[in-house]
């Protein structure tokens, strides 16, 4: 078995998701200090909820995160947790960002992308995320 596999008391697993979501209206608002703050927030949330970040890149108008989670964590719950906590913390830290989105009331768009890595290797996904800013 690969070293990537994890264990719980009664199971061995490899659950990895590539997640992508965008700010409302895909505005390019995640840059500068906000970008770094978001990376820190996501790292703390993932640590708290025991999601392991395998790769992360924050673009001005969307986020790519490749993570490993326990099989009991549904992808929709992972996304909801990451989006809600990060929006609350970013709005608190950056009042101008909150003011910018005051009319619609939320930072993140409702939708998101999720993929397991069944058809491609984790190396391919990592390389794709790492190369986001060079495209």
Q: 128 catalytic, yes or no?
A: yes
Closest CA to 20 of 133, 129, 131: 129
- DSSP assignment of 40-65 equals HHHHHHHHHHTPEEEEEEEETTEEEE
Q: What is the largest CA-CA distance in the chain?
A: 51
Q: Which one from 17, 94, 101, 128 is the annotated catalytic residue? A: 128
As beta bridge partners, residue 12 has 7
Give the strand pairing for 6-8 and 16-21.
unpaired
Q: Which residues are catalytic?
A: 128
């Amino acid at each position: 078995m690969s070293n990537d596999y994890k264990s719980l008391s009664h199971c061995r697993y490899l659950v990895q998701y590539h997640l992508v979501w965008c700010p409302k209206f895909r505005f390019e608002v995640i840059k500068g200090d906000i970008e770094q703050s978001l990376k820190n927030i996501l790292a703390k949330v993932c640590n708290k909820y025991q999601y392991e970040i395998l790769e992360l890149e924050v673009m001005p108008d969307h986020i790519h995160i490749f993570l490993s989670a326990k099989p009991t964590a549904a992808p929709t719950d992972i996304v909801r947790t990451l989006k809600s906590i990060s929006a609350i913390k970013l709005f608190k830290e950056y009042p101008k960002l909150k003011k910018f989105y005051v009319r619609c009331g939320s930072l993140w768009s409702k939708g998101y992308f999720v993929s397991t890595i069944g058809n491609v290797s984790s190396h391919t996904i990592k390389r794709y995320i790492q190369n986001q800013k060079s495209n």
